[in-house]
Structure 1
């Protein structure tokens, strides 16, 4: 696991959430059906992160992911509701509050791939939020410049991802020169060309 203190992890997670919130807030009404990733609309991408945030409190309470997943709607419109920004902010606030509880980062979460430390889980979510902030900005012609502190932290965390990616979770990395800017290297690490 990367060498981040609990306070640093929470600050990084909160920064990543704020970055994503800014990009959700900038979505124009006509952009929700635009493609964000292959097979995903802008709405699908936001719904994916809403669902991830909704999972945090029950996972930190020790519930296994298969029970948690069945509790939330699969449909994008049901997850986002009438006001997607409010839906995102509500879910994000609950996730941050759950991670900020005493001893939360010392717990274990039970994911499909098996149990992992909660600190590792918050790191993964921070990377996910950071990379998806870029995806959302690119899809909506928004600001694609990522927070340099988040990029640096995400690169440290990304070193633990297998060199060929993780099927169904992370795309295989793209080749970029070692001298490429940090954001370019981060995005390439997760299969995106900046």
Structure 2
């Protein structure tokens, strides 16, 4: 069965809304503190394939400016090239921005990120969670509710900060509050991840992420889609246990599904469990 996701407003199958608005200010402060603490050589280290720490910081600035221009200021941005896919379009405009900012120093990048990031925080803090907003492709929703769009933005900012930390010899930020919200957001991709997984109505998959930032999410096969809205009935067809570090890196493709499966504890229907471990919560 191939579930379709042209949903009506409300999106109950995504699970309860997440209010990430209070987390943008601390995330912004953590980003600036991280960047100000870097040594000059750190800016040249590879943060993600093909991009240095400096490039990734420039990309974040592009995200900040793009969000303000589009949503706060009503600026019409660049369009798709003929035949261009969403993924190719995003890759192209991201690369154009990073190349354009190659002349900007780390010090100037930090100052500008501090200034513009503060404006983004204030804009997000004033947003209405019930409004419709940009689509979230990895959740299969377009348009998406604002709460999911904002949560997606928080996960992107948080993930890029972790990539900078990892590139410069630091581990993942151990603060469980932010990570727990990030993981909760990532799990909203489960219904879309399982869209091609055929199962009798009522079949349940339980995803368990261990540790202080973890939690439990249950996806249930309904008539036309998998849903996170149904209660856990206590007898899931499959259970997947992952640690938090493996989970966030899987969802952002810092590791591949095969690696996550090798680390996972799986009970029950392995086919359903393996399908769930193909989860991805970024645009790839």
**Residue in structure 2 matching 1:147, options 162, 165, 175:** 175
Unaligned 5+ residue runs, structure 1?
Answer: 165-175
**2:161 is the alignment partner of 1:133:** yes
**2:77 is the alignment partner of 1:52:** no
TM-score w.r.t. structure 2 length? 0.53
**2:28 is the alignment partner of 1:3:** no
Specify the SS of the correspondent of 1:91.
helix
| Corresponding residue for residue 192 of structure 1 | 254
CA distance in 2, matches of 1:80, 1:109: 34
Unaligned 5+ residue runs, structure 2?
Answer: 1-13, 80-89, 195-208, 211-239, 261-284
CA distance in 1, matches of 2:254, 2:56: 15
**Residue in structure 2 matching 1:83, options 102, 105, 108:** 108
Cα distance, 1:126 vs. partner? 0.6
CA distance in 2, matches of 1:2, 1:22: 33
CA distance in 1, matches of 2:20, 2:48: 27
Cα distance, 1:41 vs. partner? 0.8
* Greater fraction strand: 2
RMSD: 3.3
Kindly report which structure 2 residues correspond to 1:1-194, keeping only aligned pairs within 5 A, or say none.
1=14, 3-4=16-17, 8-61=19-72, 62-63=74-75, 65-66=77-78, 74=97, 75-77=100-102, 83-101=108-126, 103-110=127-134, 115-161=143-189, 162-163=192-193, 178-193=240-255
CA distance in 2, matches of 1:186, 1:143: 13
- Give the length in aligned residue pairs: 177
* Greater fraction helix: 1
